Amino acid sequence: MGFIPNAQLIFRSQSKSGDYHDDMNKNNFNKWLEEKLLPNLPPRSLIVMDNASYHTIAVNKAPTMSSTKDQMQNWIQSKGLTYLPTMVKAQLYEIVKEHKEPIKYEADLMLEKHGHKVVRLPPYHWDHNPIELIWSVLKRRIAVKNVGQEAKNIVKITEEAFSSITAEEWKKECKHVKKIEDKYYHEGISVDREIDNFIIELGGDDSDTADDTDESHVSDLDPLDDHTYSKRINF
């Protein structure tokens, strides 16, 4: 349906690196979420979110193997659990793994509190997010108008570019992403089928040996190219 009304945030980057992402942090993101997005979201919305660091601030983060021994011990005690003083880190971490809860993120809890749901994109799959395609259109339209590179005009040009993007353009990009998702799904089925052709099953019947030539144990060789063959063997 287009951009969420009244949820736009434009700010001047103070970063010396030239990357505006350095200016967007947990505090700024949560402030925008609470003051700009939540008041304008339709009821029971589904929010697609990537895995940027400020999107994934955990409220119940458990220790990892890189945590100190003290951190692991303190976490175990905070959960009302016990450990032996003689336990090494690997043993303490087994307790952590057994009792840690699914990760909960600050942003998700804020949205869920208002009746919304969050779905997260697979890591490194920006192509599943229609807004990335919209950003590309937006940047091109800004570049065309920003000929003189005048800082005083950039906000006006950016706002005009935002308002020029229609609901139809959004629908087009959403359909394009759906095609990509369908392509991944069907390719996944084909990959599963091909992987099955290369499985070597261990622990068969005692009568099965590596020297068996019975057709029930060794399939015909399927040439894939001059050097590669697909074979399924029971040992």
Q: How far apart are CA 107 and CA 49, in angstroms?
A: 10
pLDDT attached to residue 86: 95
CA distance 117 to 1: 18
pLDDT tens track for 24-82: 888 889 999 999 999 999 999 999 999 889 999 999 999 999 999 999 999 999 999 99
Asked if 130 contacts 170 with a C-beta cutoff of 8 angstroms, the reply is yes
Residue among 35, 49, 45 nearest 7 (CA): 35
pTM of the model: 0.67
Tokens (6 digits) for 77: 């005690």
The token pair at 37 is 């997005």
Instruction: Give the other-Cβ count within 10 Å of 62's Cβ.
Output: 17
Report the pLDDT value the prediction gives residue 203, as an integer from 0 to 100. Answer: 61
Mean pLDDT per segment of 10 residues, for the chain of length 235 residues?
89 70 83 94 93 91 95 96 95 96 94 95 88 93 86 88 94 94 87 74 54 44 42 38
Contacts of 142 (CB under 8 A, 6+ apart): 154, 157, 158, 161
- The ranges assigned to domains in the chain are 127-196, 200-235
